[in-house]
Amino acid sequence: MERGIQADVRDSCLPEGLGRAIRETAEAIAALLGGATDDDMGGRVPGLEWTTGETAAHLAMANGLMADLACGRERPYGDGTPQGIAAANALSLAEFPERGAEPLAAMLLERTEAFLTAVERAAAEGSAGRTLQTPLGLMDQEVLAAYLLTHMLGHGYDLARALRRPHMIDAARVGLCVPFLKTAMPRIAVASTLTARFTLRIRGGAAFGVTFTDGVVEVLPGPPERSDCTVLTEPVVFLLIALGRLGPWQAMARGGVLAWGRKPWLAPRFPTLFKAP
């Protein structure tokens, strides 16, 4: 009972359901690791250059980084570009040798709780609205929390595939990731000369606009006027595409994406205009 009350108090410091989703996602990943053998941890993750052990180690370290950021500590990590973050990831893994399932699961849970405690403390001190420096630029506490959830879901999906277990991504959790994804889009855009207006709709959830003006990206709170291309995506498919785990043509072939408008052929190009870190 005490743990449930604590969870509700911490969740009230964030948008509804976000604190709970962060904790439950960490618990789901820890449960995945709980059934992993040493051979499993040494195996390669499908679609990644990392092993299962390296992926779990990266998650544990990342949650520690996020907890420090939530406390207001400065933790430089890369140069703000996807390439810079990838280089920082490689360096941090080289300096951190732990690859065991049990210690990494415990570390992940401990550091997730440290993050949520920092959020609660900031709310109690009246500093919840402060701006924090993150690997992808300045964010407030709520967007940072959505960043943490998005990152855990992406690598939790990787671990689930590697261990041949069900993943933990669902529509509710995807909806909680959207504030971070909208913040990150202009920061991870690749160079282009495109001028176009997109409406992105997540089935049963958010709808927002993304415009390109000679390649310069702007994210709008709602659909733009005279949208060139409207893209309707299933929630899980939306996140997997956003994180580079699923290609647009694969998603369309499975019926997870529908597109219409004056230029519907732009839909498969949209994900290629960004590089997930």
Cite the residue boundaries of each domain of the chain with CATH code 1.20.120.450.
Answer: 2-173
Cβ-based burial of 74 (10 A; exposed 0-12, middle 13-18, buried ≥19)? exposed
Q: Would you identify the CATH topology of the domain 2-173? A: Four Helix Bundle (Hemerythrin (Met), subunit A) (1.20.120)
Identify whether the C-beta of residue 12 lies closer than 8 Å to the C-beta of residue 145.
no
Average pLDDT, the chain: 94
Q: Which residues contact 28 (CB under 8 A, 6 or more apart)?
A: 156, 168
Q: Supply the pLDDT for residue 271.
A: 96
What span, in angstroms and rounded, lies between the C-alpha atoms of 264 and 189?
20
Average pLDDT over residues 238-261: 94
| SS3 assignment for 16-73 | CCHHHHHHHHHHHHHHHHHCCCHHHHHCECCCCCCEHHHHHHHHHHHHHHHHHHHCCC
Please give the structure tokens belonging to residue 197.
């207006």
pTM metric for this prediction: 0.94
DSSP at 82:
H
Q: Which residues contact 107 (CB under 8 A, 6 or more apart)?
A: 60, 64, 98
What span, in angstroms and rounded, lies between the C-alpha atoms of 38 and 74?
35
pLDDT-derived band of residue 80, with 50, 70 and 90 as boundaries? confident
What span, in angstroms and rounded, lies between the C-alpha atoms of 272 and 255?
19
Please determine, for residue 64, whether its predicted confidence score (pLDDT) is greater than 80. Answer: yes
Q: Supply the pLDDT for residue 262.
A: 97
Tell which CATH architecture fits domain 189-273. Answer: 2-Layer Sandwich (3.30)
Cite the residue boundaries of each domain of the chain with CATH code 3.30.1050.10.
Answer: 189-273
Please determine, for residue 4, whether its predicted confidence score (pLDDT) is greater than 80. Answer: no
Please give the structure tokens belonging to residue 40.
């499993």
Residue whose token pair is 């709520």: 142
Q: Supply the pLDDT for residue 52.
A: 98
- pLDDT tens, 184-217? 999 999 999 999 999 999 999 999 999 999 999 9
Q: Supply the pLDDT for residue 163.
A: 97
Identify whether the C-beta of residue 168 lies closer than 8 Å to the C-beta of residue 153.
yes
Q: Supply the pLDDT for residue 2.
A: 38
Angstrom distances, CA of residue 95 to CA of 61, 90, 98:
11, 9, 9
Average pLDDT over residues 238-262: 95
What span, in angstroms and rounded, lies between the C-alpha atoms of 264 and 233?
14
Average pLDDT over residues 56-64: 98
Q: Supply the pLDDT for residue 11.
A: 59
